[in-house]
Homo-oligomer: A and B are copies of this chain.
Amino acid sequence: MESLEDVARKTAVTLILEGISAANPREAVKRHLRLEGEKLVVGDLTLDLPNEVYVVGAGKATGGMAEAVESILGDRITAGVISVPKELAPKLKLRRVEVVGATHPRPGPESVEAGKRIVELAKEAGESALVIALFSGGGSALMEYPVEGVKIEEISEVSIALMNAGCDIFELNTVRKHLSRVKGGWLAKHAYPARVMCLMISDVVGDRMDTIASGPTVPDPTTFEGAYRVLKKYGIWEKAPSSVREYIERGLKGEAPETPKPGDPVFERVHNLIVASNILSLSAMKRKAKELGYNALVLTSLLEGEAREVAKVVAAIAKEIRRTGNPLPPPAVVLMGGETTVTVRGKGKGGRNQELALAAAIEIEGERGVAIAAVGSDGRDGPTDAAGAIVDGNTAKRAREAGVDPVAYLEDNNSYEFFRKVGGHIILGYTGTNVNDFVVIVVEKEARGEAA
Which residues on A are within 8 Å of B, measured CB to CB? 206, 279, 282, 297-306, 309-310, 312-313, 315-317, 319-320, 323-324, 326-327, 338, 363
Contacts and interface: CB of A to CB of B under 8 A. Distances in A.
The residue in A300, A301, A310, A323 that gathers the most chain B C-beta atoms within 10 A of its C-beta is A300
The residue in A297, A299, A305, A306 that gathers the most chain B C-beta atoms within 10 A of its C-beta is A305
Number of copies: 2
Given A301-B324, A309-B309, 20 more contacts: A206-B319, A279-B320, A279-B323, A279-B326, A282-B326, A297-B327, A298-B320, A299-B299, A299-B317, A300-B317, A300-B320, A301-B320, A301-B326, A302-B316, A302-B319, A303-B316, A304-B313, A304-B316, A305-B313, A306-B309
B313 A303 contact: yes
Contact of A309 (B301, B310, B315): B310
Contacts of A305: 309-310, 312-313
15 contacts: A279-B326, A282-B326, A297-B327, A298-B320, A298-B326, A300-B320, A300-B326, A302-B315, A303-B312, A304-B313, A304-B363, A305-B312, A306-B309, A316-B338, A327-B327
A86 B280 CA distance: 58
A300 B319 contact: yes
A299 B312 CA distance: 13
A104 to B, nearest CB: 28
A324 B301 CA distance: 10
A128 to B, nearest CB: 36
